[in-house]
Structure 1
């Protein structure tokens, strides 16, 4: 059985704790952010700053080791919102208070148990990976690239963290239950990635990533995440880094 002790999540806690001590970028250099990208970043900022209290409440029943790591994870997500807010301010661009896509994700997580909470979060994190990679690689502005690179590096740790948690919960399920769960997960992931592709298509096009390519690559990555999560034998998949970009083909394989 996978390790559910404090030591099982110690490396995540240590990583998230170390991240708290990083220096901010030099905001004084300012930023030149095109309007279409600024509007896109503002929408992502709302999602990054989402309420993590529900996850923390659910995590209290999952052991002290996971709870400590989960608290730090939530803090890191909130720091992403802060970084994006500072970036927008450095570029003289406004933030927004709310967006319908964030409200939709919040509704899915409302009073959810830990399993559903983490599964919904994982979908959001996977959708974010290719987005931040596109900004890191395609933005003209140095500060924008720097902020995106930092957030992307964090998100590449967040997904394996969630996989680790889910494998503890799901590894003993019989094959039919895993197939059903994979299908439900895909039923959330496909429209979620499509919404990002359509809603942010102008920014993605500016960054050199057509919406269709974003959608295809995000779903390929999600396919690798579902397999890592739902493989019935403990294979240490949660210890493998997650990278944006091309991956194995999509599909609810288990």
Structure 2
């Protein structure tokens, strides 16, 4: 498949991003009480750290795959993830809190993905993005602070397309794999997804409650979101590309 549509999307997406950010009143005081503020500080610190990587090793693997259009699109996706990190930093500034220099969950995820090939690393990103997507949507719709809601809107808009992009690329990677082997892959992904959903639910449970979500309900929703994405990759590897949401597909 061609990744021309994705490259066009990522090149034009900064205009949409700026439009969303223009609607955020960054100077507005936070209405949060001390307990709720601590919940979002803890949550934003972990997300800021997780989104801050430079993607150097991932891009090197993508370069070796030999598709320059895909590589160019992936480079722009990495830039978007770095912008998400900057947005979480602005959120922490708004809450009067510092960033973290390290956290065990980020270190473990980074070590695991760096040891693997391109296809498996992209699968790990798909797992991470799908289980976190519900958090970004909850933040956008129900965070009890308008600045945090704006950050949620901004990031969730990007992440919807990031998930679709990863699905399109992973389908290419699995087209030649026999069906039984894809079943085994799906089982392995499922085990990792359970762990990822558990970590995000435990790490962000206070922020989820502040957005009106039961952590247990969130855990179930996160796994359902992952299963839909995994099935799209593994059971329909030759399906028509999803493409960016801006194309209305």
Structure 2 length as normaliser, TM-score? 0.89
Q: Does 1:234 align with 2:238?
A: yes
Query: Which residue is 2:50 aligned to?
Result: 47
Q: What pairs with 1:6-155 in structure 2 (closer than 5 Å)?
A: 8-21=2-15, 22-23=17-18, 24=21, 25-33=24-32, 34-62=37-65, 63-155=67-159
The structure richer in helix per residue is: 2
Contact 1:228 1:238 in 2 (8 A): no
Root mean square deviation of aligned Cα: 1.6
User: What's the secondary structure of 2:88's corresponding residue?
Assistant: helix
In 1, Cα distance between equivalents of 2:153 and 2:27? 18
Partner of 1:225: 229
Q: What SS does the aligned partner of 1:94 have? A: coil
- In the alignment, the residues of structure 2 paired with residue 221 and residue 107 of structure 1 have an alpha-carbon distance, to the nearest angstrom, of 25
1:119–1:225: structure 2 CA closer, same or farther, 3 Å change rule?
Answer: same
Q: Give ranges in structure 1 of 5+ residues lacking alignment.
A: 242-254
**Does 1 or 2 have the higher relative contact order (CA < 8 Å, sep 6+)?**
2
Shift in CA distance, 32/99, structure 1 to aligned 2, threshold 3 Å: farther
Q: Following TM superposition, by how much is the alpha carbon of 1:112 offset from its aligned partner in structure 2, in angstroms?
A: 2.2
- Farther-moved stretch of structure 1 (71-80 vs 61-70): 61-70
2:13 and 2:29 map into 1 onto residues whose CA distance is: 24
Deviation of residue 49 (structure 1)? 0.9
| Contact 1:46 1:96 survives alignment (8 Å) | yes
Supply the distance in 2 between the matched residues of 1:11 and 1:210 (Cα, whole angstroms): 38
Q: Which runs of 5+ in 2 are unaligned?
A: none
Q: Report the Cα distance in structure 2 between the residues aligned to 1:71 and 1:240, rounded to whole angstroms.
A: 16
The answer to whether the Cα contact below 8 Å between 1:172 and 1:232 also exists between their aligned partners in 2 is no
Residue 30 of structure 1, CA deviation: 4.3
Where in structure 1 do 4 or more consecutive aligned residues deviate above 6 Å? none
Secondary structure class of the residue paired with 1:28: coil
Distance in 1 (alpha carbons) for counterparts of 2:146 and 2:38 = 16
- State how many pairs are aligned: 235
Residues 227-251 of structure 1, C-alpha deviations (whole Å, 9 max, x = no match): 110124522253485xxxxxxxxxx
Q: Quick one: distance in 2 between partners of 1:102 and 1:213?
A: 24
Secondary structure, aligned partner of 2:176: coil
TM-superposed deviation, 1:117: 1.1
